[in-house]
Amino acid sequence: MIDETLTLTPELLLQAYSVGIFPMGSEDSDEELYWVDPHERGIIPLDDLHISRSLRKTIRRGDFDVRVNYNFSAMMHDCAAREETWINDTIHDLYGALHERGAAHSVEVWRGSTRIGGLYGVSIGGAFFGESMVSHEPDASKIALVWLVARLRAGGFRLLDTQFTTPHLISMGGIGISRTKYHTLLQNALQHRADFDALDKEADVEAVLELV
């Protein structure tokens, strides 16, 4: 397990994820962090993403652009810009450092020059740990999730961890599993190599939908 007295570094953060725990801040003005290992863990099975008919219609309309790792820091700020958030300055700095190491990624949805939503998370081996998502327009975070799952499937990932379940995630196929089952899935995923950049950069909407 993780020694809570240690100074939290990007390397320690990756170690924490690898044993099934993650940090959270109590509020954005509080620099203290605490470790979380939920009794029920949220995941989205990569072979069972739910895409509603209306969302497919929105995606096929194609009046948006999906960019990966375009502005990771700004994506984190977007996710933190709400009345209550655990994304404090310490979290922002740590995940920014992970991004610079190639271990944290953003999937951003743009319309013209405006980012309308997206998500960010951490990848280790064949596991992707979703951290936060946001929508400034209807369905924007769902579009980001579709592109994320397509990318994970193309890259050979085995696990998409959402930490918790919410009605939003459940509507997309999210489920809750026991801590024990999660740890088994995690250790299996960490034994596999995966490539977050495997998805063809020229993949169009239909190619993405075919993957999911």
CA angle 128, 134, 138 (to 5 degrees): 120
Report the alpha-carbon distance of residue 106 to residue 73 in Å, rounded: 9
* 3-state SS class at 139: coil
For residue 115, report the phi and psi dihedrals to the nearest 5 degrees: -80, 120
Q: Which residues share a beta bridge with 129? A: 122, 161
Predicted confidence (pLDDT) at residue 115 exceeds the cutoff of 70: yes
Report DSSP state, residue 113.
T
Q: Supply the pTM of this predicted model.
A: 0.94
pLDDT at 24: 81
pLDDT at 170: 97
78 C-beta neighbours (distance < 10 Å), count:
24
* 3-state SS class at 200: coil
Q: Max alpha carbon distance in the chain (Å)?
A: 51
pLDDT, tens digit (0-9, with 9 covering 90-100), for 169-209:
999 999 999 999 999 999 999 999 999 999 998 899 999 99
Tell me which residue of 42, 69, 77 sits closest to 144, measured CA to CA: 69
Report the alpha-carbon distance of residue 177 to residue 19 in Å, rounded: 16
pLDDT at 6: 56
Predicted confidence (pLDDT) at residue 3 exceeds the cutoff of 70: no
Given pLDDT bands bounded at 50, 70 and 90, which one contains residue 84?
confident
Report the alpha-carbon distance of residue 28 to residue 26 in Å, rounded: 7
How many alpha carbons fall within 13 Å on the CB side of residue 34?
Answer: 7
Instruction: Report the amino acid identity of residue 166.
Output: T
pLDDT at 160: 98
Predicted confidence (pLDDT) at residue 89 exceeds the cutoff of 90: no
Q: Which residues contact 39 (CB under 8 A, 6 or more apart)?
A: 178, 179
pLDDT at 23: 87
Q: Are 106 and 119 spatial neighbours (Cβ–Cβ below 8 Å)?
A: yes
pLDDT, tens digit (0-9, with 9 covering 90-100), for 139-152:
999 999 999 999 99
pLDDT, tens digit (0-9, with 9 covering 90-100), for 12-60:
999 999 999 998 876 555 567 788 999 999 999 999 999 999 999 999 9
In CATH, what class is 10-211?
A: alpha beta
For the chain, the distance separating the N- and C-terminal CA atoms, rounded to the nearest angstrom, is 35
To 10 degrees, the CA torsion angle through 187, 188, 193, 199?
-110
Given pLDDT bands bounded at 50, 70 and 90, which one contains residue 65?
very high
